[in-house]
Structure formats: structure tokens, C-alpha cells
Amino acid sequence: MLDYINSDLILSDSADVEGEVAWRSPSNIALIKYWGKYGVQLPCNPSISFTLENAFTETLVQYELKSKPDKGIALDFFFEGELNEAFGSRVQKYLEQLLPIFPFLDQLSLKINSANSFPHSAGIASSASSMSALALCLCTIEDNLFDTLSDDTAFSQKASYVARLGSGSASRSIYSTMAVWGECEGIANSSDLFAVEHSDVHSVFKNFQDDILIVSTGEKAVSSRAGHALMNDNPYATPRFQQAKNRIAALLQTLQAGDLEEFGQIVENEALTLHALMMSSQPSYLLMQPNSLQIIERVRAFRAATKHPVYFTLDAGPNVHLLYPEDIIHEIRPFVEEELLPFCENSTYIPDFVGEGPEEL
């Protein structure tokens, strides 16, 4: 069942409709992970993430009234300047699913141009940035045509809801600093349907660094979609969902207090739990690689030796996100470059940090 169904959002045949909208939207890194879903892309547990700044997608949507009315989505999809049929057919299916929410979409001819700030093959999930950028464009088109979303909260909620239908984690990319997706005690208005901004955090986290260490750019053996599905039969699923609920409550307090040690314990354990869930699925699988473990071991040894508050987390893949406060960047960067880059593909990493969220271009 979809919410936001609105059959009034239909253009009159005589309307003179033509325009373009563009948004830049960032990726995000989850601290408490969404892993396992039910219904129409609803999370089995709440999740919380840092919004990033440097890893983003820019999407331009040009639209005009179809010359001849017909049913269906009329779309040309360009990725990094080139017509891309594989991505185009995925976006086409997504837009078809959204027709009850945006019924005017089948009255328009659409041309979409999308590009990422990071190499497509960097092995970084681009679904959060790309689906959120597209969702923001669709909400702006609705507002331009029908003047329905002038309230900022209403706009963000709908954009987050629509982004969620494309990729669950994309629902969190709509907001500055941090976002919570999923019903969560202590977070006002939190919902499984859309994410909400979370800014009640200690100043140390507002410019936290995230160096994304690219261990491998290869395609993952098991997609996130398949990984979520395997949670349905995972023997640890029920206690895991409860654990995530408890952990997010503890992390929220830690974020407010600025307790870095406690933050690191929760975040690292959570990353390893995500991968333990993959290892305990039926069939089991591994997305970490030997070099991911080499990096994890070195981060822990460096922390023990220097007492610097530097911690790791992982997405559903082999790359390692190194999290630390901005004021120790000059101590951490030499360590990254000398001790960690040898374990990265082509010595690649993407220096990123907590960002301000999407921007209309």
C-alpha cells in the first residue's frame, strides 16, 4: 500500500508545461544499520546515519507535456552524459511504481541527466545519493506544477518517502547532519515511512570525518536487495531487530553527550554485526575481504597505541569508512596514507565528512 496517493495531481491538456529542475544529493553512512525489510520497503528496525558531503549525485530532470497523450512513462535517461539504457529501465520501473503518487508523470516527456561526484566503479553504493536526488526533483516538479509542497517539512517528508521506495537508505539522505529512519522511541515524528532529521548531537559530531577506504571496486557477489531478503530466514533476525532498537537508544544518548569511546564501541560492533548477519544467512556469504580485516586490525592497533578516537564502520561491501573528529585530522591522515592505503585498490580513498544535505541547483 502506498501513501501520498493523490489523483488530483493531473495537468489539463491545454496546460503549457515545460521546465527543468536539478538537485545535488549526498550519500550517507549508517551507524545503526538497516538490514531486513518487510511490506513495501519498510525497515525491520530503525537506523541512523551521518549525511555525507563529497560523495553526491547531481540529477537534472527536464520535462514537457507529451505532444500526444498516451499512457506510460516517456523517459530518456543519461548517465554522465551518455544515454544509459540499463539505468534507464530501472528508473522507468521506479517511476511507473510512483504513478499513483505523481499521476502527472505519464502526461510528460522526461529527460534525466545524472552524474556522481565519485567514480561509478568506486564500489560505493550510489543508490542513496541517486534515488534521493531523483526524489527531490520529482517533488520540486510537483510543487512547480501544483504548488502543493511549499511547506519545508512537508516537502522533505514526501521526498524522503519517495526516495525510500527507490532505496531504503536513500530516505536518510534528504537531511543535514544526521537522519533517523524507522519508528524509534525518543525521536519525535519518527516513522517507518520516511526519515527525519536528527540534529540534537554534540558539536564534535557535526563535522565528523569519514575517510572512505576503497578496498575493492568490484561488483558485490550478493546485492543489498538479496541480502535484505536473506534476513527473512536468518535464525538471528528477531534478536537482531531488538538489538538494533536497543543500540539506537544507547547511541542517541552518546551522540548527545559527545562520548567518543562509547560511540566507537557501538558503531564498530554494529558494523561487525551487519557482516555477521551475512555470514549466518542461508546460504552464507562474505562481503568483507582480507584487506578489510587488515585495515580493521590496524585501526584498532593504532587506537590502542595512540589513544586517538578513530573508529571504523562498513557498508554492505568490503570498503571501510574511517570515522574520527575533525580536530585530529593531521594525526590521522599520515596514518591513513602510510598504513592503510597499501590495503586499498590503487591506493584510493575518498575524504569525506558530515555534510549539510541536499541542495537545489
3-state secondary structure of 130: helix
Q: How far apart are CA 315 and CA 275, in angstroms?
A: 9
Interaction residues for ligand PMV, span 37-96 (CB under 6 A):
47
Binding flag, residue 315, ligand PMV (CB under 6 A): yes
Q: Is 171 exposed, middle or buried (0-12, 13-18, 19+ CB in 10 A)?
A: buried
Site for ligand PMV contains 343 (CB under 6 A): no
Q: How far is the CB of 220 from ligand PMV (least distance, A)?
A: 11
Comparison of 34 and 77: residue with beta carbon closer to ligand PMV: 34
Residues with Cβ < 8 Å from 251, sequence gap 6 or more? 31, 32, 48, 263, 266, 267
Nearest residue (CB) to ligand PMV, 34 versus 311: 34
DSSP-assigned letters across all residues of 310-353: -EEEE-SSS-EEEEE-GGGHHHHHHHIIIIIGGGSGGG-EEEEE
Pairwise CA distance, residues 182 & 226, whole Å: 21
Residues 92-111 touching ligand PMV, rule: CB under 6 A, are: none
Length of the chain: 361
Site for ligand PMV, residues 221 to 250, rule: CB under 6 A: 224
| Smallest distance from ligand PMV to CB 271, Å | 9
Give CA–CA dist 125/121, Å, rounded. Answer: 10
The rounded Cα 315 to chain-centroid distance in angstroms is 10
24 contributes a contact to ligand PMV by CB under 6 A: no
30 is a contact residue toward ligand PMV (CB under 6 A): yes
CB of residue 321 vs ligand PMV: minimum separation in angstroms?
Answer: 11
Give the nearest distance from C-beta 181 to ligand PMV in angstroms: 8
Least distance from C-beta 245 to ligand PMV, angstroms? 14
Question: Residues interacting with ligand PMV, by CB under 6 A?
Answer: 30, 33-35, 47, 125, 127, 167-169, 224, 274, 315-316
